[in-house]
């Protein structure tokens, strides 16, 4: 089901809701521009979470544990998420074929950082994960699924050891 994040006058969103609900779940986020802002908030959280999963699985590997078994062990706990379930599985299976691509993730994170700068906000986690995705893009890997951020984290780990 598609998550539809709509901004604008509430009456207008309510009027469009029967049509939009054919596509997915509609949430009115506030005035005009709030739908786009909601999408960017989602992208920031997704990117940081994918990065955290990649770091955790890299730590598991470096410590001698089976990353897939670690992923399974923490499913259902506080770290459980769709990201851990879906992207964590892609990482342990090393299945990075396109879906949500690194190219799109960088584009979205650049938009997040632009909005944050306009608001005078520092977003250190988002900035760092954007740099990780950006490094993969610079290596010509923009076509891979964004779960391939694991490759960048593994590269950093290899360089540090």
Token pair belonging to 79: 């770290």
Nearest Cα to 88, choosing from 112, 106, 61? 61
Q: Supply angle C-alpha 147, 151, 156, rounded to 5.
A: 130
Per annotation, catalytic residue among 39, 71, 87, 146: 39
Alpha-carbon distance of 49 to 37, in angstroms, equals 18
Residue 107 is a catalytic residue: no
Q: Is 3 left (phi over 0), alpha (psi -120 to 50) or beta?
A: beta
Catalytic machinery residues: 39
């Amino acid at each position: 089901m598609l998550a539809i994040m709509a901004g604008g006058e509430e009456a207008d969103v309510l009027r469009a809701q029967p049509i939009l609900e054919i596509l997915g779940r509609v949430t009115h986020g506030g005035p005009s521009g709030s739908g786009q802002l909601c999408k960017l908030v989602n992208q920031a959280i997704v990117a940081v979470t994918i990065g955290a999963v990649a770091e955790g699985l890299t730590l598991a590997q470096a410590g001698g544990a089976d990353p897939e078994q670690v992923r399974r062990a923490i499913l259902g706990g506080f770290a459980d998420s769709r990201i851990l379930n879906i992207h964590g599985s892609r990482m342990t299976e090393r299945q990075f074929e396109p879906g949500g691509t690194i190219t799109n993730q960088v584009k979205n994170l650049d938009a997040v950082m632009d909005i944050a700068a306009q608001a005078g906000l520092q977003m250190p986690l988002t900035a760092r994960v954007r740099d990780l995705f950006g490094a993969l893009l610079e290596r010509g890997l923009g076509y891979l699924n964004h779960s391939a951020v694991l490759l960048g984290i593994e590269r950093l780990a290899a360089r540090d050891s």
